Structure 1
Amino acid sequence: MTVNQRRTKKEFHEYNEYHDRPFGLKWGTAFAMEELVTGIQANEEWALKENQLLEQLLRETIDVRLFESLLYSKEVEIQLNNRDPFGRLVDSVSGFFLGEAYDEYFILEDQKIFWEDVRHIKVKNQEKWFTIDLFEKDSLRKETSSVSNEELTYVVNEDYQSFFDEIY
């Protein structure tokens, strides 16, 4: 038995001087945008970061490490004595030293760095591309290398039917 029911269109009638939005989206601001969430997370990371204070090096040690960077074309990472407005150490500066140095400062990739601002300098030793093992963390490689011949057993398949050539 089918009963033919008519449905009425759902309409909103304004009352008490309330006017509904003229477009279909009712709660467009209920979900935060991805850009907003990533911005909040980046601000939180920046607010919570704390750079570790490295030892103060002598000028001779700094010169030796800059000289090594120049001779072997190695990148250096320099921690400065400068602090941000909140009293935290600023992030380390990294780059290649090209040999331009003066009495008060030296140049690190077009950036002027004063000698008295340098706290610590570290020469980065980059790994060569041919020494990197791509399968170092691969569990499959570890499993296959640990299997010995003693652990392998011969499996007999009872459903195998030999070919005519194998019988005679």
Structure 2
Amino acid sequence: MKIMVTGYSGSGKSTICRKLQDRYQLPALHLDAVQFLPGWKVRAKAGQQRIVQTFLNEHPDGWVIDGNYKALSYERRCEEADAIIQMLFGRLDCLSRCLRRYRINKGTNRPDMTKGCDEKIDWKFIRWILWDGRTWQRRDLYRRTQSQFPEKVVVIRNQRQLDRYLRRFDPFPS
């Protein structure tokens, strides 16, 4: 089983990825950990692409991957995925979730993040959550993915839908 989790920052992509990884005993790849080196330095694009390609090639039978990163084999992930989960929570919900995550993890690493990237929140990230990460191009990418892979895409817009989905642990809800 191959599951791709995309969506807005703070929507819970990494959390659902870990839950699905545990439920189905799948190898997981968190694309934020691919993007960042210790100290929040950005890894070179070629290195990021190599890591993702290697992961996909080494796990042909199943995986769960969370993150957007269109330049990191997005089309291949969509094609190979059995399910594409889009976490499309509202802006304020995502901000609230990020603030809660910060309070819980302040000064430490989340399990889905690169070592040396302690949890932080700043105005640049808040702006990303509320505006910059919600461009029309991003929304269009989600819509195109829904249109191209309607049988695979599950759209989750709020906590109630997420809770219902996780109770069923069914990557292919009817």
TM over 0.5: no
Higher helix share: 2
* Higher radius of gyration, 1 or 2: 1
Q: Which has the higher contact order (CA 8 A, sep 6+)?
A: 2
TM-score, length basis structure 2: 0.17
TM-score (normalizing by structure 1): 0.18
